[in-house]
């Protein structure tokens, strides 16, 4: 029993974080927003880091890493508000295709030639697909109408929900950092607004929710890696905890930014809108609440002190 | 990350489970906050000690089993799953004990830790004063050196367990004219020393769970000081860290509440609302999140890490979760919620639980203070009044 992210895992995630911080800052989001939302050079950079190969089995020329490793990197993608469809293709489609035995598509994914638009019934849209286009609140999301034959595969749904939860904790981290930095420099009444308890307490409250959502996400990733029966409940718990924490953080961050937060000019809106998009994606709050409810009240899960890791 | 218990950990779980099944009292004890109930709980502490379960993480030489934090968590899970009583000596074993382990001399460890683990000496805390609550650095009760003694004069209040406990610990001003955090020392004292007057205070539920303490030239041997004279603030902050951080409120206790709440929901399903149903599900989610976080912190400590301002995140989380769970139970019970005892004479544990949960966001550093700590030390926001 060791609930601990390894040095290797943290080092890998830190590497991606540093790379994205250096190459994918807010100025890039603005450039993409004014252009076509996607940039082959950004995608190529991610491919050169080997990220599409992360979850591809080693016998298919991949790195053969685990969902927990990918979840940590998905969180970094959220932190940088990455627009390219890396998480969908590399961390959702790859393990789904591998589980189904569809290994033919893995090689072009590893080489970066192929992205995999995911059509699941629960969404009603496809991200980075080729149908008629839909407009998302998130200016950097390319949504299209879902095809009639979209799958309802629960494994795909769980992977999508897990990786959304992972991105959401990274997005929330980024919004917190932006709000804290703003609160340190914005002065009113002769002092930084971050010195006022009303502002501090808002941020502290949102921080508590976020910090207690993170271990739930890592636990859900590990539950899927271990293939335990209760994994869907843990995924739903993760989606709820991360979604609620991110929404609370978004509302807190805009409040701390004041009128500046209500503009397109402050960077915050990119992350806020991504959080709204992912909170509803891959099963909304009611869907996931129902699944946890089935475990806790419905009795399909052992609960109580002796069942922490049931 | 490995979320499977080793065979040794499973065997340990089975061992404590069996001992608890044989020894946990069948009927709930009277409340720990009243005199008779306190003595029942002291008997339970001694029963635990007889099985060498008093404080499993302490070294064997001080009455422990030398177990690690994961084994401690397993112990706590089984303890609360078995419905075992509250710990009468929690101020001692969870707060003072780890502090003595870190700052005490070998002589102090032998003198204080062993009787604590054995359930022989019950401890009260004595932090607050009438004018030093959240602002603990405003302490004025003084301890003046006189030969090989300190002479204490002043007043403490909200002193948990002091109505019935044997010994107390707290911060005292040992340098005349010193200000704020400086000049404070951490002193342990016999509550039966001449010059100490205890005035029990009735808590919200009517029982004297805490007391005021009046010190009138109380002579305490100098060897009862922990660490050096004037170093008390740092020692006390370490105690507060243990309290808020890991030991005082293990997840098992809250997981047991969440499980009971789900049972209560199923028994009252006709009289409920979707919001309450969701709150019951949230209770499980919150207690599990708290448990994962605790396992994670324990693993970090085992890998050589320390608890910092994260302890304040914990304190806010468990105290507000506990209040929320007990509130949901009160809502589920409807008209029966107000009954202190039911028709069969049994105590309304949910009412007790709700009342007690209201103290959580106040004691061990109010949640407002914790939010300040998070904002300033975890997030790096400026202190109030900073230009």
Q: How confident is the model at residue A244 (pLDDT cuts 50, 70, 90)?
A: very high
Q: How far is CA B308 from CA B204, B246, B300, in A?
A: 32, 11, 12
Q: Which tokens go with A142?
A: 């390319």
If you average pLDDT over residues B164-176, what whole number do you get?
A: 97
Same domain, A104 and A159: no
Same domain, A199 and A284: yes
Same domain, A259 and A212: yes
Say which DSSP state B85 is in. P
What CATH number did the domain enclosing A72 receive? Answer: 1.10.540.10
Task: State the Cα–Cα distance between residues A289 and A266, nearest whole angstrom.
Answer: 33
Q: How confident is the model at residue B352 (pLDDT cuts 50, 70, 90)?
A: very high
Q: Which tokens go with B61?
A: 């030489």
Query: Residue A235 has what pLDDT?
Result: 98
Question: How many degrees, rounded to 5, is the angle at CA B287 between CA A159 and CA B255?
Answer: 125
Chain A contact for B24 (CB, 8 A cutoff): no
Same domain, B83 and B130: no
Task: State the Cα–Cα distance between residues B142 and A212, nearest whole angstrom.
Answer: 41
Beta carbon pairs, A and B, within 8 Å: 184
Contact B384 A303 (CB under 8 A): no
Measured between beta carbons, which residues in chain B are less than 8 angstroms from residue A286?
A: none
Scanning every residue of chain A, which has its alpha carbon at the shortest distance from the alpha carbon of B285? Answer: A237
A138-195 pLDDT tens trace: 999 999 999 999 999 999 999 999 999 999 999 999 999 999 999 999 999 999 999 9
If you average pLDDT over residues A218-236, what whole number do you get?
A: 98
Q: Which of A4, A240, A297 sits opposite B296 (nearest CB)?
A: A4
Range of the domain at B206: 123-232
Residue A304 lies in a domain: no
B178-236 pLDDT tens trace: 999 999 999 999 999 999 999 999 999 999 999 999 999 999 999 999 999 999 999 98
Task: State the Cα–Cα distance between residues B326 and B288, nearest whole angstrom.
Answer: 16
Measured between beta carbons, which residues in chain B are less than 8 angstroms from residue A3?
A: 1, 3, 292, 295-296, 298-299
Q: Which tokens go with B98?
A: 């780890």
Q: B86's torsion region: left (phi>0), alpha (psi -120 to 50) or beta?
A: beta
A26-64 pLDDT tens trace: 999 999 999 999 999 999 999 999 999 999 999 999 999
Residue B335 lies in a domain: yes
**pLDDT above 70 for B240:** no
Same domain, B270 and B306: yes
Which residues are within 8 A (CB) of A119 and not within 5 positions of it... i.e. 6 or more apart?
A: A126, A129, A146, A147, A149, A150, A151
A116-137 pLDDT tens trace: 999 999 999 999 999 999 999 9
Residue B98 lies in a domain: no
C-beta separation of B307 from B241 below 8 A: yes
Which secondary-structure segment (H or E) carries A209?
helix A197-226
Same domain, A168 and A266: yes
Q: Which tokens go with A262?
A: 């209500």
Q: Which tokens go with A184?
A: 């340190």
Same domain, B282 and B313: yes
Strand B123-126 relative to strand B167-173: parallel, antiparallel, unpaired? parallel
If you average pLDDT over residues B310-338, what whole number do you get?
A: 95
What CATH number did the domain enclosing A160 receive? Answer: 1.20.140.10
Contact B368 A200 (CB under 8 A): no
Query: Residue B386 has what pLDDT?
Result: 55
- Comparing CA positions, the residue from B154, B84, B157 lying closest to residue B124 is B157
- Comparing CA positions, the residue from A223, A220, A226, A269 lying closest to residue A240 is A220
Query: Residue B244 has what pLDDT?
Result: 52
Task: State the Cα–Cα distance between residues A215 and A218, nearest whole angstrom.
Answer: 5
What CATH number did the domain enclosing B179 receive? Answer: 2.40.110.10
Query: Residue B243 has what pLDDT?
Result: 52
Number of domains in chain B: 3
Task: State the Cα–Cα distance between residues B223 and B145, nearest whole angstrom.
Answer: 12
If you average pLDDT over residues B273-292, what whole number do you get?
A: 97
Query: Residue B320 has what pLDDT?
Result: 98
If you average pLDDT over residues B110-127, what whole number do you get?
A: 96
- Per DSSP, the three-state class of B150 is strand
* Shortest CA gap A1–chain B (Å): 5
Residue B152 lies in a domain: yes
- The residue among A212, A233, A300 with the most chain B CBs within 10 A of its CB, best to mutate, is A212
Query: Residue B270 has what pLDDT?
Result: 87
Q: Look-up: residue for tokens 């448990």?
A: B291
Same domain, B202 and B156: yes
Contact A213 B255 (CB under 8 A): no
Same domain, A183 and A85: no
Q: Which tokens go with A274?
A: 């991504």
Residue A149 lies in a domain: no
Mean pLDDT for chain A overall: 97
Task: State the Cα–Cα distance between residues B169 and B185, nearest whole angstrom.
Answer: 11
Q: Which residues pair with B187 in a beta bridge?
A: B170, B225
Contact B262 A296 (CB under 8 A): yes
Same domain, B308 and B361: yes
Query: Residue B307 has what pLDDT?
Result: 78
Single out the residue in B34, B63, B88 at which a domain terminates: B88
Residue A17 lies in a domain: yes
Residue A129 lies in a domain: no
Q: Look-up: residue for tokens 């929901």?
A: B265
Same domain, A171 and A264: yes
**pLDDT above 80 for B169:** yes
Same domain, A94 and A229: no
B72-104 pLDDT tens trace: 999 999 999 999 999 999 999 988 998 999 899
Same domain, A165 and A101: no
Residue A20 lies in a domain: yes
C-beta separation of A136 from A239 below 8 A: no
In angstroms, the first-to-last Cα distance of chain A is: 13
**pLDDT above 90 for B333:** yes
Residue B107 lies in a domain: no
B 51-70 near A (Cβ less than 8 A): 70
Scanning every residue of chain B, which has its alpha carbon at the shortest distance from the alpha carbon of A67? Answer: B1
If you average pLDDT over residues A95-115, what whole number do you get?
A: 96
Single out the residue in A115, A144, A175 at which a domain terminates: A115
Contact B259 A216 (CB under 8 A): no
Q: Which residues pair with B225 in a beta bridge?
A: B187
- Comparing CA positions, the residue from B30, B25, B31 lying closest to residue B355 is B31
Residue B112 lies in a domain: no
Task: State the Cα–Cα distance between residues A308 and B284, nearest whole angstrom.
Answer: 10
Same domain, B228 and B254: no
Same domain, A87 and A172: no
Measured between beta carbons, which residues in chain B are less than 8 angstroms from residue A195?
A: 381-386
Same domain, A74 and A171: no
Residue B163 lies in a domain: yes
C-beta separation of B16 from B74 below 8 A: yes
If you average pLDDT over residues B301-326, what whole number do you get?
A: 91
C-beta separation of A177 from A154 below 8 A: no
Number of domains in chain A: 2
Q: What is the ipTM of this complex?
A: 0.97
Query: Residue B387 has what pLDDT?
Result: 47
DSSP-derived secondary structure for B289-334: HHHHHHHHHHHHHHTT----THHHHHHHHHHHHHHHHHHHHHHHHG
* Shortest CA gap B325–chain A (Å): 14
Scanning every residue of chain B, which has its alpha carbon at the shortest distance from the alpha carbon of A184? Answer: B381
Residue A111 lies in a domain: yes
Same domain, A166 and A287: yes
Same domain, B254 and B368: yes
What CATH number did the domain enclosing B333 receive? Answer: 1.20.140.10
Residue A130 lies in a domain: no
Q: How confident is the model at residue B299 (pLDDT cuts 50, 70, 90)?
A: very high
Burial profile B314-352: b = 16 or more Cβ within 10 angstroms, e = fewer: bbbbbbbbbbebbbbbbbbbeeeeeeeeeeeeeebebbb
If you average pLDDT over residues B118-144, what whole number do you get?
A: 96
Q: How confident is the model at residue B296 (pLDDT cuts 50, 70, 90)?
A: very high
Same domain, B157 and B57: no
Residues of B with catalytic function: 243
Residue B106 lies in a domain: no
Same domain, A195 and A91: no
Same domain, B218 and B320: no
Same domain, B265 and B366: yes
Strand B123-126 relative to strand A133-135: parallel, antiparallel, unpaired? unpaired
Chain A contact for B376 (CB, 8 A cutoff): yes
Q: Where are the alpha helices (DSSP H) in chain B?
A: 7-23, 35-50, 69-81, 90, 97-103, 106-108, 114-117, 232-245, 251-267, 274-302, 310-333, 349-357, 367-373
Range of the domain at A31: 7-115
Query: Residue B242 has what pLDDT?
Result: 61
Same domain, B227 and B264: no
Residue A120 lies in a domain: no
Handedness of CA A65, A66, A67, A71 (dihedral sign): negative
Single out the residue in A115, A141, A173 at which a domain terminates: A115
* Shortest CA gap A191–chain B (Å): 5
If you average pLDDT over residues A246-258, what whole number do you get?
A: 98
Same domain, B226 and B264: no
Q: A120's torsion region: left (phi>0), alpha (psi -120 to 50) or beta?
A: beta
């Amino acid at each position: 029993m060791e609930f601990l992210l390894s040095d290797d895992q943290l080092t890998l995630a830190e590497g991606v974080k540093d790379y994205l911080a250096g190459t994918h800052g807010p100025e890039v989001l603005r450039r993409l927003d004014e252009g076509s939302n996607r940039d082959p050079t950004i995608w190529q950079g991610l491919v050169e880091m080997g990220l599409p190969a992360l979850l591809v089995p080693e016998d298919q020329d991949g790195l053969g890493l685990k969902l927990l490793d990918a979840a940590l990197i998905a969180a970094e993608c959220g932190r940088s508000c990455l627009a390219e469809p890396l998480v969908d293709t590399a961390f959702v489609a790859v393990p789904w295709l591998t589980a189904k035995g569809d290994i033919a598509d893995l090689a072009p994914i590893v080489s970066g030639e192929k992205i995999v638009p995911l059509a699941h019934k629960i969404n009603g849209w496809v991200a980075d697909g080729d149908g008629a286009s839909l407009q998302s609140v998130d200016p950097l999301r390319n949504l299209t109408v879902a095809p009639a034959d979209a799958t309802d595969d629960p494994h795909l749904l769980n992977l999508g929900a897990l990786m959304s939860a992972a991105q959401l904790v990274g997005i929330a981290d980024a919004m917190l950092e932006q709000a804290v930095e703003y609160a340190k420099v914005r002065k009113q009444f002769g002092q930084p607004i971050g010195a006022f308890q009303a502002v501090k307490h808002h941020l502290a409250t949102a921080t508590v929710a976020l910090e207690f959502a993170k271990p739930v996400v890592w636990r859900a990733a590990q539950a899927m890696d271990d293939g335990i029966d209760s994994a869907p409940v843990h995924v739903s718990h993760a989606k709820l905890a991360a979604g609620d924490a991110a929404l609370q953080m978004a509302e807190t961050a805009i409040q701390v930014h004041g009128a500046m937060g209500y503009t397109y000019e402050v960077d915050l809106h990119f992350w806020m809108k991504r959080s709204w998009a992912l909170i509803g994606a891959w099963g909304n709050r009611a869907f996931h609440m129902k699944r946890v409810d089935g475990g806790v009240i419905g009795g399909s899960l052992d609960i109580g002190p002796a069942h922490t890791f049931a | 990350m490995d979320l499977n218990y080793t065979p040794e950990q499973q065997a340990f779980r089975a061992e404590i489970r069996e001992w608890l099944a044989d020894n946990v009292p069948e009927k709930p004890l009277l409340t720990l906050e009243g005199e008779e109930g306190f003595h029942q709980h002291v008997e339970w502490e001694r029963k635990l000690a007889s099985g060498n379960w008093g404080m499993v993480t302490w070294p064997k030489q001080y009455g422990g089993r030398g177990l690690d934090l994961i084994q401690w968590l397993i112990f706590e899970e089984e303890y609360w799953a078995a419905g075992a009583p509250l710990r009468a000596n929690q101020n001692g074993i969870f707060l003072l004990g780890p502090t003595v382990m870190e700052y005490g001399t070998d002589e102090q460890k032998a003198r204080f830790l062993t009787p604590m683990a054995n359930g022989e000496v019950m401890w009260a805390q004595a932090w607050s004063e009438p004018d030093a609550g959240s602002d603990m650095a405003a302490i004025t009760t003084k301890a003046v050196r006189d030969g090989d003694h300190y002479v204490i004069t002043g007043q403490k209040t909200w002193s948990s367990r002091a109505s019935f406990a044997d010994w107390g610990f707290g911060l005292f001003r040992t340098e005349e004219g010193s200000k704020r955090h400086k000049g404070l020392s951490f002193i342990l004292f016999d509550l039966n020393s001449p010059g100490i007057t205890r005035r029990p205070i009735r808590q919200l539920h009517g029982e004297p769970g805490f007391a005021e303490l009046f010190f009138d030239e109380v002579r305490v041997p100098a060897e009862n000081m922990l660490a050096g004279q004037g170093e008390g603030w740092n020692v006390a902050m370490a105690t507060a860290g243990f309290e808020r951080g890991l030991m005082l409120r293990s997840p098992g206790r809250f997981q047991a509440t969440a499980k009971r709440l789900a049972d209560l929901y199923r028994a009252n399903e006709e009289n409920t609302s979707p919001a309450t149903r969701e709150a019951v599900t949230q209770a499980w989610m919150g207690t599990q999140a708290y448990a994962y976080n605790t396992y994670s912190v324990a693993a970090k400590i085992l890998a050589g890490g320390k608890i910092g301002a994260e302890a304040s995140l914990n304190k806010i989380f468990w105290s507000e979760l506990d209040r929320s769970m007990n509130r949901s139970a009160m809502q589920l019970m409807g008209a029966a919620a107000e009954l202190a005892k039911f028709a069969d004479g049994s105590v309304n544990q949910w009412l007790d639980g709700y009342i007690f949960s209201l103290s959580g966001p106040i004691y061990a550093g109010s949640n407002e203070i914790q939010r300040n700590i998070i904002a300033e030390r975890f997030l790096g926001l400026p202190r109030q009044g900073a230009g």
